[in-house]
Amino acid sequence: MATSPKKIAEAAADAVERRGGGLLAGFPRTMEEAEALEAALKKKKKKLSYVILIDDGDEAWFEEADAMLAWYDERKMLKTVDGTSFDEVVEEDLLRIMHELLAEERTRAMIQQDTKFVVEPQLSADLEQSSSSLLGGASQTWQDAENVRWIDPRTMGNSVSLGGRESVLLSSIRRKEYTSNERLRIDMRRHERSKHDPTDKYATPLTSSMVVGWGARKEELYKKDPDMFHPRMKSRETMFAEALILGPRHP
């Protein structure tokens, strides 16, 4: 029975040559076997197309796993690791490392809290959350660590800062207050009138005795600010709706 890595690799290469290709399952498991397999296949003028790693918990494999992964990745052969893309596995490892660094930094700050500085309430809540995660409790620190990929290096300082969504308050402050120039002009005109007579700030209540129609606007307002009532200040939908409600312009 073949026991040396070289003989095992030659037997595997012979089997591949007889079948005209195929799948090698559970082999190689060490760097020595991997190099022997590549040499044996090269003699047969064949090569590996891709490598799929399935970790079955073997300790001997685990000792040389990093070296074999790097070896196959340099040759652009490594396709998946336990059904996951190799790039995603590396990304998950980086996020896990960042999560550990954040937990250590927050724990260190929590220890120094009583001696050197006073932590703000929001930061102290984050420290309590990270400490609960270290003790096995539920925490959102992992989701915080995932946000690291969206960090903007231009706004980062020397410390680690998590990228987050913009505050809802800022969007409400920058909200557009007026939907048209017409509404803005009306409010500004009422504001100017209210300086002289506060009752003029509000529009005159509509009563049944008033004439409501196309020419019911006050003539003096046209003289003060003709652009305020220009027809093109309104949207096409508003103009069409008024035309349907008021009817034709001619009497």
User: pLDDT tens digits, residue range 180-199?
Assistant: 777 777 777 777 766 666 66
Instruction: Give pLDDT tens digits for 36-60.
Output: 777 777 777 776 666 666 666 666 6
Instruction: Provide the whole-model pTM.
Output: 0.28
Which of 25-29, 66-70, 172-176 is predicted least confidently? Answer: 172-176
Q: What is the mean pLDDT of residues 144-160?
A: 53
Please give, one letter per residue, the 3-state secondary structure of 122-188: HHHHHHHHHHHHHCCCCCCHHHHHHHHHHCCCCCCCCCCCCCCCCCHHHHHHCCCCCCCHHHHHHHH
